[in-house]
Amino acid sequence: MQIDYFYPEYEVVRNKEKCTRCGLCVSQCSNHVHSYSEEHRRMITDDAKCVNCHRCVCVCPVGALKITGSNHQFKHNANWSRRTIMEIYSQAETGGVLLSSMGNPKDMPVYWDKILINASQVTNPSIDPLREPMETKVFLGSKPASIERDENGRIRNNLPPHIALDVPILFSAMSYGSISLNAHASLVHAAVDLGTCYNSGEGGLHDDFYRYSANTIIQVASGRFGVHKEYLEAGAAIEIKMGQGAKPGIGGHLPGNKIVGEISKTRMIPEGSDAISPAPHHDIYSIEDLRQLVYSLKEATGYKKPIIVKVAAVHNIASIASGIARSGADIIALDGFRGGTGAAPTRIRDNVGIPIELALASVDERLRQEGIRGNVSLIAGGSIRNSADVVKALALGADAVYIATGALVALGCHLCRGCHSGTCNWGIATQDPALVSRLDPEEGRRRLVNLVSAWTHEIKEMMGGMGINSIEALTGNRLMLRGVGLNAKELEVLGIMHAGE
Amino acid sequence: MNIDAFAFDFQELNKEIKSSGQEELNIDNCMGQRYIGCGLSRGSLRIRGVPGNALGAYLNGADITVHGNAQDSVGDTMNEGKISIHGSCGDTPGYAMRGGKIFIRGNAGYRAGIHMKSYRDKCPVMVIGGSAGSFLGEYQAGGRIIVLGLGSDQPCPVGYFCGTGMHGGKIFLRCGQLPASLPDQVNAKLADDVDLQEIEEDIRQFCAEFDLDRETILDHPFHVLTPNTKNPYRQLYVHC
């Protein structure tokens, strides 16, 4: 007997009348759920191995497969859910720290869904983006505090370095190692086509991508993997990763079995060695220390690149951001607690940090109050799911947004949350060459370009509806937002009125 | 070429260094200017005075000599080259350095050699002539850290938590007694001849750099610390 045996969470349902036993599901499932029994001349499924990634369902040429949740259950208990009980069994058996993939799946408030966008009616006419110009270009970086003139009265160019994006959407950091080379290639090429940037993440930059520097943000994290002079030169901007929404306050750990071949080369560490990113940068214990890293990067790259400081949204995020805005950083990236990850301790992911909506609103407000909002641009991430989320983020104070989970979904991710296994059937969170080859970088590029182009058009329509014709005029324009079903405190933090007011 | 650093702030000084185009530069009257030699690929800098934090950060091949003390984060994320300090230095020298050598004649502060890593032909080396503060070689993933304890009256020339999180590389301590509280991930033993061969060249260079007697240094027991597994946290997690 096994105390923790539980009937599988998912059942693979095969329509025997449709199934032609072609065996495609067998060859496509890296989890070995499907097999064909010669002896019994029938298809066999091992439901216990199914992670519900839908690969077999999608490839089955006759539509014979579906995955359903099992109705096997514990006695109903609103407090002790199946997951809670199973986690205890698992920890009692192994003594291990629970580790999960992708963003927080818990039923926590999603403020985007409680915020509504305005539209003009009679006065301030709406704009038709199909027929009238609409500016979606954004410039990220610090803005000079004043206009300077030379002795002849001409305006002196005192503009600090910026990155110019055609759309207010960037692909956020996912390291090579946590995702595949083909996933990275899809992101890079899409960023080039879209006139935006993707982010290398903290695993270094693969040789193939050095040539796309105008569309690349390179990341420097506490482990400093793959960081060297040419790498620093290779980006349009440099991002210092202080924190990540999915795991605020802790570091990262790519296990040695994933440090193979090109990943070892790109991270510049030996094969098989764990890639440990310590929780803090051990040379940063204060804003002054952060300033030192910011300036050492500026010195190393000749003050030509804006420096981004990425932090997780936590309780005192407004004070933290105030410090960062005084550190010499040009851009602050805020990552909300629903942000994704290749792997994070479950308790941290699900319980630490705050929603990006509240963090963003309070940071924007604090920086304005202190008169330093112009010191930095703000990028908001940590679960931007659609173009309406983008518009709401901009109106709450963001200059642009980061998307990552959404981008992976566009590439085929079905959010099965099995990234840690390394057997991603969609060729995204895996380094198995056979699985990686399932993701065609050209197809990935096309789908990402489609997604962001469609969102951009929707953003233009929403902006047009409000009578706004540029992203700049939308950023921080909270009058364009109203809350529904939010209490007075939530509205106060968000800095918006209730619908009807 | 000589640069008198007295009148310059760090930006002006570093601009001057970069724009000089000279292979050999002497910087006099250094008064704590930061980021000197940041990312420098070639040539040599000879500094008199006290350079500020992040001296030689991302250093990529140049040679820096300091006739005086240095401050925090010497050789942060250094890739190649050499830094020698005739005095002592502050905290976190050699943070995440991947290649090149750092020689410190005197003492180093906390977290020396944190997250040093080696890769292929690159093997970073840091030799500390005196003693090192706590957290020496924390998260060390590769390379060699050597602490000689010259002039130290302590039985062991390092502070607490030496090698915490170490998962690669080696630490050589010139002492007859091990640090008081070695973490579980670290194996320690008396260095034998084979071990000592590994640091022979490093010691030779260190002695040549600071005009010290090699025999006196080597005629003393050394301990060598190594990680007891490359994957210290493999057993920690369970997926759910």
Backbone angles phi, psi at B186, to 5 degrees: -110, 130
CB contact (8 A) between residue A270 and residue B168? yes
Q: For residue A279, what pLDDT is reported? A: 84
Residue B234 reports pLDDT greater than 70:
no
> Given the structure tokens 């482990």, which residue do they identify?
A223
CATH number at residue B145: 2.160.20.60
Region class of B159: left (phi > 0), else alpha (psi between -120 and 50), else beta: beta
Tell me how many residue pairs between chain A and chain B have CB atoms under 8 A apart.
138
Q: Cα separation of B170 and B223, whole Å?
A: 10
CB contact (8 A) between residue B115 and residue A222? yes
Task: Provide the shortest C-alpha distance from residue A458 to chain B (in Å).
Answer: 37
Number of neighbouring beta carbons within 10 Å of residue B152: 18
Backbone angles phi, psi at A176, to 5 degrees: -75, 120
Single out the residue of A413, A425, A383, A416 nearest to residue A401, CA to CA: A383
CB contact (8 A) between residue A268 and residue B236? no
Single out the residue of A374, A456, A388, A444 nearest to residue A169, CA to CA: A456
Residues of chain A with pLDDT under 50: none
CA-CA-CA-CA dihedral for A86, A88, A90, A91, to nearest 10: 160
Nearest CA in chain B to A279: B139
For B194, residues 6+ apart whose C-beta sits below 8 A from its C-beta are none
What residues in B contact A228, CB-CB < 8 Å? Answer: 58, 60, 77, 79, 98
What residues in A contact B39, CB-CB < 8 Å? Answer: 229, 232, 299-301
One-letter amino acid at B14 equals N
Single out the residue of A126, A123, A116, A134 nearest to residue A466, CA to CA: A126
- Whether A256 has its CB under 8 Å from any CB of chain B: the answer is yes
SS3 of chain B: helix, strand, coil, percent, to 5: 15, 30, 55
Q: Which residues pair with A37 in a beta bridge?
A: A42
Q: For residue B231, what pLDDT is reported? A: 58
Q: What is the pLDDT of residues A372-401, one digit of tens each?
A: 999 999 999 999 999 999 999 999 999 999
Q: In which domain, by residue range, is B199 found?
A: 88-236
> Given the structure tokens 């499924």, which residue do they identify?
A45
Backbone angles phi, psi at A186, to 5 degrees: -60, -45
What residues in B contact A296, CB-CB < 8 Å? Answer: 34-35, 38, 54, 57-58, 73, 76
Does B160 reside within a domain? yes
Q: Cα separation of A383 and A111, whole Å?
A: 11
What residues in B contact A282, CB-CB < 8 Å? Answer: 92, 95, 111, 114-115, 135, 138
Picking from A99, A282, A292, the nearest residue to B239 by CB comes out as: A99
Q: Cα separation of A330 and A308, whole Å?
A: 6
Q: Cα separation of A57 and B29, whole Å?
A: 72
Q: For residue A174, what pLDDT is reported? A: 96
Does B46 reside within a domain? no
Distance between first and last Cα of chain A = 62
Residues B12-37 have a mean pLDDT of 93
The whole-angstrom distance between residue B237's C-alpha and the CA centroid of its chain comes to 33
CB contact (8 A) between residue B119 and residue A256? no
Does B170 reside within a domain? yes
Residue B232 reports pLDDT greater than 70:
no
Q: Cα separation of A10 and A243, whole Å?
A: 34
Picking from A96, A273, A300, the nearest residue to B39 by CB comes out as: A300
Joined together, the tokens standing for residue A420 give 């840690």
Q: For residue A78, what pLDDT is reported? A: 93
Burial (CB < 10 A; 0-12, 13-18, 19+), residue A382, is buried
Concatenate the DSSP letters of all residues of A331-342 into one string.
EEEEE-TT---S
Does B81 reside within a domain? no
What residues in B contact A219, CB-CB < 8 Å? Answer: none
Q: Cα separation of A501 and A490, whole Å?
A: 15
Specify the DSSP element, H or E, that contains A297.
Answer: helix A287-300
Domains, in order of start, for chain A? 10-96 (3.30.70.20), 138-143+167-474 (3.20.20.70)
CB contact (8 A) between residue B238 and residue A97? yes
Backbone angles phi, psi at B208, to 5 degrees: -65, -40
Nearest CA in chain A to B116: A223
Q: Which residues pair with A10 in a beta bridge?
A: A69
SS3 of chain A: helix, strand, coil, percent, to 5: 35, 20, 45
What residues in B contact A256, CB-CB < 8 Å? Answer: 230-231, 234
Q: Are B36 and B65 in contact (CB under 8 A)?
A: no
What residues in A contact B11, CB-CB < 8 Å? Answer: 299
Q: For residue A184, what pLDDT is reported? A: 97
Q: How many domains does chain B have?
A: 1
Chain A segment 94-123 residues within 8 A of B by beta carbon are 94, 96-100
Single out the residue of A141, A387, A343, A119 nearest to residue A252, CA to CA: A343
Q: For residue A282, what pLDDT is reported? A: 84
CB contact (8 A) between residue A228 and residue B60? yes
For A184-199, b/e burial (b = at least 16 CB within 10 A) is: bbbbbbbbbbbebbbb
Does B36 reside within a domain? no
> Given the structure tokens 């690969």, which residue do they identify?
A55
CB contact (8 A) between residue A273 and residue B35? no
Number of neighbouring beta carbons within 10 Å of residue B9: 11
Q: Are A236 and A214 in contact (CB under 8 A)?
A: yes
Region class of B96: left (phi > 0), else alpha (psi between -120 and 50), else beta: left
Does B162 reside within a domain? yes
Q: For residue A136, what pLDDT is reported? A: 97
> Given the structure tokens 């005029």, which residue do they identify?
A473
| Residue A124: strand, helix, or coil | coil
What residues in A contact B56, CB-CB < 8 Å? Answer: none
Q: Cα separation of A429 and A448, whole Å?
A: 17
One-letter amino acid at B129 equals G
CB contact (8 A) between residue B41 and residue A87? no
Q: Cα separation of B31 and B25, whole Å?
A: 16
Single out the residue of B161, B227, B184 nearest to residue A270, CA to CA: B227
Picking from A96, A229, A421, the nearest residue to B79 by CB comes out as: A229
Q: For residue B181, what pLDDT is reported? A: 81
Q: For residue A2, what pLDDT is reported? A: 83
Q: Which residues pair with B31 in a beta bridge?
A: B50
CA-CA-CA-CA dihedral for A233, A239, A240, A242, to nearest 10: -160
Q: Cα separation of B17 and A344, whole Å?
A: 44
Pairing of strands A307-312, A377-381: unpaired
Residue B235 reports pLDDT greater than 80:
no
> Given the structure tokens 């410039």, which residue do they identify?
A139
Confidence of residue B84 (pLDDT cuts 50, 70, 90): very high
- Whether A278 has its CB under 8 Å from any CB of chain B: the answer is yes
CB contact (8 A) between residue B238 and residue A86? no
Residues B168-190 have a mean pLDDT of 91
Nearest CA in chain A to B11: A299
- Whether A299 has its CB under 8 Å from any CB of chain B: the answer is yes
Q: Are A230 and A210 in contact (CB under 8 A)?
A: yes
Please, what is the Cα angle at B207 between B203 and B208, to 5 degrees? 115
Single out the residue of A118, A114, A112 nearest to residue A477, CA to CA: A118
Single out the residue of A215, A176, A223, A209 nearest to residue A193, CA to CA: A215
Does B80 reside within a domain? no
Q: Cα separation of A269 and A159, whole Å?
A: 38
Joined together, the tokens standing for residue B16 give 């001057």
Residue B143 reports pLDDT greater than 80:
yes
Does B215 reside within a domain? yes
